[in-house]
């Protein structure tokens, strides 16, 4: 089975690296604690945030990585964790589709970190055999999350109802898609 690299050097300041359960727990927990109000409107897991749940999240990453079902990375900016991101396969998705997700500490927003992170994940997704489509899914009201795929050349694929689980969610998801061909065409245009 082909797996993405455990470390992705996005640029000289930004690295995505696979989580290490024991060593990352204190720093990730602190970053989440400092980000609770920023994340609460959009992330349903924030309502049950605790040290034990963060430890459980980290402990499950190795199994998901080994199975090829999910690749979670710490977003590391200038040597410090500033958020998390992932590349995963949804249970209801076609085999050739992967989804990416991301969240940031509020101090790291507005600086292009989410866009650069997503660009790095997209590149890795299309290096995996059989992956032809990458999606970003977010609530339609989460404009900051939607700005990222728009900047990267994704197209709005569909809107679908979804049960609102976090306080600001409207119950409508926006699904963005980028195909392998679109990504290559965009890269060729940027290179010329």
Write the pLDDT tens digit of every residue in 119-139.
999 999 999 999 999 999 999
pLDDT bin (cut points 50, 70, 90) of residue 190 is low
- DSSP classification of residue 106: G
- pLDDT, mean of residues 77-91: 94
Determine whether 62 is exposed, middle or buried from the number of CB atoms within 10 Å of its CB (0-12, 13-18, 19+): middle
pLDDT at 94: 75
Neighbours of 6 (CB within 10 A): 13
More confident residue, 188 or 150: 150
User: Alpha-carbon distance 178 to 135, whole Å?
Assistant: 6
The answer, as to whether pTM is greater than 0.85, is: yes
In this structure, which CATH number among 3.40.630.30, 3.30.70.100, 3.90.870.10, 1.10.600.10 belongs to the domain 7-191? Answer: 3.40.630.30
Residue 44 has pLDDT above 90, yes or no: yes
Answer whether residue 192 shows pLDDT above 60.
no
183: pLDDT strictly greater than 90 = no
Q: How far apart are CA 77 and CA 79, in angstroms?
A: 5
At 5, list the tokens: 């690299």
Mean model confidence pLDDT for the chain: 93
């Amino acid at each position: 089975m082909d797996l993405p690299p455990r470390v992705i050097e996005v640029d000289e300041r930004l690295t995505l690296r696979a989580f290490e359960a024991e060593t990352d727990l204190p720093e990730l927990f602190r970053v989440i604690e400092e980000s609770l109000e920023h994340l609460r409107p959009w992330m349903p897991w924030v309502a049950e945030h605790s040290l034990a749940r963060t430890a459980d999240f980290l402990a499950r990453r190795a199994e998901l990585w080994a199975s090829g079902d999910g690749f979670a990375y710490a977003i590391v900016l200038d040597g410090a964790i500033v958020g998390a991101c992932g590349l995963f396969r949804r249970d209801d998705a076609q085999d050739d589709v992967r989804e990416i997700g991301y969240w940031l500490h509020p101090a790291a927003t507005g600086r292009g970190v989410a866009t650069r992170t997503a660009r790095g994940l997209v590149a890795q997704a299309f290096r995996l055999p059989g992956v032809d489509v990458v999606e970003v899914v977010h609530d339609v009201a989460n404009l900051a999350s939607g700005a990222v795929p728009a900047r990267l050349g994704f197209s709005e694929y569909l809107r679908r109802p979804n049960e609102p689980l976090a306080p600001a969610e409207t119950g409508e998801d926006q699904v963005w898609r980028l195909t392998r061909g679109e990504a290559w065409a965009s890269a060729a245009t940027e290179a010329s």
